[in-house]
Amino acid sequence: MLTILGRKNSSNVQKLLWLCGEAGIPFQREDYGGPFGKTKDPAYLAKNPNALVPTIDDDGFVLWESNAIMRYLATKHGAEKLYPSELKRRADVERWLDWSLGTLSPAITPMFLGLYRTPEPQRDKAAIEASRLKTADAVRILDAELAKHPYVSGDSFTLADIACGIFAGYRWFNFPIERPDFPNTKAWYERLAQRAAFKEHVMIGIT
Ligand SMILES: N[C@@H](CCC(=O)N[C@@H](CS)C(=O)NCC(=O)O)C(=O)O
């Protein structure tokens, strides 16, 4: 049995829960991280020396780093549509997976930490604003791509939508901030919001 270690309100844990929902992968989940702590316990650190969530334990095979875990699970379960094997289709999905970790997530994270993890009087408003502008720059890139096709990596839903959808979809459109008009990204987010696994695992409030 696949065990996902990580709290369900973590964006990076949600990627795995959403993927499991989409691909029909059975799993159990244990709370780690945030208020549940335990990530600095020796037993957890032996599995994930970053002291971050998620980590998986798949019948003894331990792996951390959410996008790597998505690739592993999609490949193991033959989720060809979500993670196409054809070279150029795959390269395109990989590009967005890397972009989500290298550009999108670092852009939006300071805004998330400022708005949701810091009491109002202690907030660094300049850092929140810088993060808002950086995220808008990233979403602008996505918006141009989504003008060409309905999903991030083409005409069908893939891991690229999962990696980007929590940040540029649910969080970006629900943060209490001003947003430039990004009609293609908005329409994509509304398409994601029709999906049962997105509703169940991502649209649960931002906490
Ligand atoms: N690059 C890592 C980032 C993991 C990460 O930053 N996880 C956050 C939650 S989204 C975390 O563990 N925060 C500390 C905690 O929850 O205790 C991944 O994608 O798995």
Instruction: Tell me which of 53, 67, 101 to substitute to probe ligand 1's pocket, judged by most ligand atoms within 8 Å of the beta carbon.
Output: 53
- CB of residue 53 inside a 6 A radius of ligand 1: yes
- CB of residue 31 inside a 6 A radius of ligand 1: no
Q: Which of 50, 76, 102 is the last residue of a domain?
A: 76
Give the nearest ligand 1 atom to 65 CA. Answer: 20
**81 within some domain:** no
Q: Are residues 26 and 99 in the same domain?
A: no
- CB of residue 70 inside a 6 A radius of ligand 1: no
**19 within some domain:** yes
pLDDT in tens, 22-75: 999 999 999 999 999 999 999 999 999 999 999 999 999 999 999 999 999 999
Q: Are residues 155 and 103 in the same domain?
A: yes
The tokens describing 64, both together, are 């951390």
With helix as H, strand as E and coil as C, how does 99-136 read? HHHHHHHHHHHHHHHHHHCCCHHHCCHHHHHHHHHHHH
**207 within some domain:** no
Q: Are residues 92 and 58 in the same domain?
A: no
Q: List the domain range (segments joined by +) for residue 111.
A: 87-195
Question: What is the 65 CA–ligand 1 centroid distance (Å)?
Answer: 8
**What percent helix, strand, coil does the chain show, rounded to 5?**
60, 10, 35
Number of domains in the chain: 2
CB neighbour class for 58 (10 Å; exposed up to 12, middle 13-18, buried from 19):
middle
Give CA–CA dist 105/131, Å, rounded.
10
pLDDT in tens, 93-120: 999 999 999 999 999 999 999 999 999 9
pLDDT in tens, 134-171: 999 999 999 999 999 999 999 999 999 999 999 999 99
